[in-house]
Structure 1
Amino acid sequence: MTPCPDTLCIGSALWDIIGRAAGTMMPGADRAGQIDRAPGGVALNIAVALARLGHRPALVSAVGRDAEGEELIAALTARGVICDHLHRFGGPTDRYVAIEDQGGLIAAIADARGLEAAGASILHPLTHGPLATPSAPWAGPVVIDGNLPAALLAAIADAPWLSVADLRLVSASPDKALRLAPFLCHPGATLYLNRAEAGLLAGRACATAPEAAAGLIAGGARRVLVTDGARTAADACACDLITALPPAVALARVTGAGDAFMAAHLAAELRGCPRAQALQAALAHAARHVSGETAA
């Protein structure tokens, strides 16, 4: 029997291939290091983190019918993620390749052609059941990531099957931040962004996370959380703006830090934590992730 999820995570599911080198790398450098392969993708990462934190997330995404797709589903199921509602396609499972050094991300390429080609097909469990229908909308938390095609995100913003959901939007990268524009003034949306992504949505560069968050609220956003690496983070809504400083840790990895932050924040709020406490919990969890203390 398919377990009943308490949270939906809609977006990318793929294999992360991350190369990490000690020291600083320059363009064109060829350096010894470590290469790891692990389940990845924003929606997938958040689903795995939520399962680790005691929730029952269902992943709504697209995975290939190849050996890598089967391996990915097996790995997710073992981690407590509900995979019964995945769309399966005939091509190879999507991949993400990144290079990091001691200063952070050098470059990355996301091959999400499978997800992009699947388009609205991944949403069938929400448009026709069993997760929801237009007449019986999903009423719980829904994580939506910016890897989805822009047209699909715009359609989701107006979807009747999510009309009463608690929408949590997370940008996959600055390059895709503008895809979240349809949710800027959505009455049920909370946006999770870094400072660069928030600046793009606000239409201007912002010097700090609080400035970026305040600018988006002034532009009509319901609620925004903005991080800025090791600098002050902000949680803003129409009522007020709160800030917190992340714990200082040694940097071991950067890929997935925003996903760790978002998952921990949502989990804290679902436990009933007040906003300030939830922000601190999310920053602490993200710090443990970038330090390498928690599992990838």
Structure 2
Amino acid sequence: MTQTPDILCIGSVLWDVIGRAPLAMRQGSDVPGRITRLPGGVAMNIAMTLARFGLTPALLTAIGRDAEGDELVAACTARGMITDTVYRSEDLPTDQYMAVEGANGLIAAIADAHSLESAGAKILRPLTNGTIATPEAPYGGLAALDGNLTLDLLNKIATSPVLSHADLRVAPASPGKAERLGPFLNHSRGTLYVNLEEAGLLCQRGFDNSVEAADGLLARGAARVLVTDGGKTATEGSADGLVSETPPQVLVTRITGAGDTFMAAHIAAEVRGANRSDALHAALEAAAIYVSGKTPT
């Protein structure tokens, strides 16, 4: 590895196939719109935003040795990411994600991350073989990871000495996978980035707002949390107390990737030395710019 990473992005790197329509949609809708195919996945979305903020992320993920995988690795490299840390499988296809969005939000999505799940702990080999670290000299920097990893692997990461010195930043891939983050509550590890629904699933109760949700997660064992609630107040919470702010109001033109942008912008702000309030403000600003259809920088 010729470059030293500023952060590890551990999780899904795949192709996003997104259909967007300017009209409100419901089940069975058949409307005109645009279909795009772009590099995506939670880890990839975070890495792309971090790269735009001037950081160099290394990807720990699984990508197939098929044509789609070669194209995806080339796209990652072109975007300033370290890719020689990627596990390239001979027999697993490159993963993909498909979503449909209307003017009324996300209509439906399917995440096919079976290759990442099948690869399991193989994606962590750079942390033990000397590419990034070794068991005798464990990695001690920033690491962002997502809930597309299996519960078994997430539990291993939460407890393994290989990442015991790392500053873990953790996000679920979707509400359906939020409960996979349970090991980080049980072991009080890392900073969790969740929305209101995901916070409720982790705590097995409903919350009316992000302040309640942050309190609930901390009470369940979380070391630090950031809870978003769409256009409503977001809250960062830790043993030092709570900090809340309402995001800017913008016209929403896209949704997929907004949470990943928020997380990456928050990490980048803290790397630059921002305090808790300023980092939360920067993350909300970046997410607002993103959902309005522009590119945060």
TM-score bucket of the superposed structures, by smaller chain: over 0.9
Matched to 2:136, the amino acid is S
Asked if 2 retains the 8 angstrom alpha-carbon contact of 1:165 and 1:188, the reply is no
**CA-CA distance at 1:226 after TM superposition:** 0.2
Q: Which runs of 5+ in 2 are unaligned?
A: none
**CA-CA distance at 1:104 after TM superposition:** 1.1
**CA-CA distance at 1:11 after TM superposition:** 0.2
Q: Which runs of 4+ in 1 moved over 6 A?
A: none
Deviations 1:146-169 (A, max 9, x none): 000111111111111111110000
Please say which of residues 180-189 and 67-76 is displaced more in the overlay.
180-189
**CA-CA distance at 1:219 after TM superposition:** 1.7
Tell me the distance in 2 between the aligned counterparts of 1:127 and 1:181. Answer: 25
Matched to 2:6, the amino acid is D
Tell me the distance in 1 between the aligned counterparts of 2:68 and 2:224. Answer: 38
Tell me the distance in 1 between the aligned counterparts of 2:104 and 2:2. Answer: 43
**CA-CA distance at 1:188 after TM superposition:** 4.2
Asked if 1 retains the 8 angstrom alpha-carbon contact of 2:50 and 2:268, the reply is yes
2:117 aligns to what?
116
Q: Which runs of 5+ in 1 are unaligned?
A: none
**CA-CA distance at 1:203 after TM superposition:** 1.5
SS in 2 for 1:279: helix
SS in 2 for 1:5: coil
**CA-CA distance at 1:220 after TM superposition:** 1.8
**CA-CA distance at 1:196 after TM superposition:** 0.3
TM-score of the superposed pair, with normalisation by structure 1: 0.98
> Would you say 1:181 and 2:182 are equivalent positions?
yes
2:226 aligns to what?
225
1:15 aligns to what?
15
2:66 aligns to what?
66
Aligned residues: 296
Tell me the distance in 2 between the aligned counterparts of 1:216 and 1:295. Answer: 29
Tell me the distance in 2 between the aligned counterparts of 1:183 and 1:135. Answer: 24
2:84 aligns to what?
84
Tell me the distance in 2 between the aligned counterparts of 1:149 and 1:25. Answer: 32
2:197 aligns to what?
196
2:286 aligns to what?
285
Tell me the distance in 2 between the aligned counterparts of 1:201 and 1:247. Answer: 27
1:36 aligns to what?
36
2:49 aligns to what?
49
Deviations 1:61-110 (A, max 9, x none): 00010111111111111110110110011232100000000121000000
Over the matched positions of the two proteins, sequence identity in percent amounts to 58
Cα separation, partners in 2 of 1:53 and 1:295, compared to 1, 3 Å: closer
Asked if 1 retains the 8 angstrom alpha-carbon contact of 2:158 and 2:189, the reply is no
SS in 2 for 1:184: helix
Matched to 1:30, the amino acid is D
Tell me the distance in 1 between the aligned counterparts of 2:100 and 2:214. Answer: 29
Tell me the distance in 1 between the aligned counterparts of 2:126 and 2:135. Answer: 11
SS in 2 for 1:96: strand
Matched to 2:205, the amino acid is R
**CA-CA distance at 1:8 after TM superposition:** 0.3
1:206 aligns to what?
207
Cα separation, partners in 2 of 1:123 and 1:168, compared to 1, 3 Å: same
SS in 1 for 2:155: helix
TM-score of the superposed pair, with normalisation by structure 2: 0.97
1:167 aligns to what?
168
Matched to 1:236, the amino acid is G
1:258 aligns to what?
259
Tell me the distance in 2 between the aligned counterparts of 1:44 and 1:272. Answer: 24
**CA-CA distance at 1:170 after TM superposition:** 0.6
Cα separation, partners in 2 of 1:22 and 1:169, compared to 1, 3 Å: same
SS in 2 for 1:82: coil
Asked if 1 retains the 8 angstrom alpha-carbon contact of 2:286 and 2:296, the reply is no
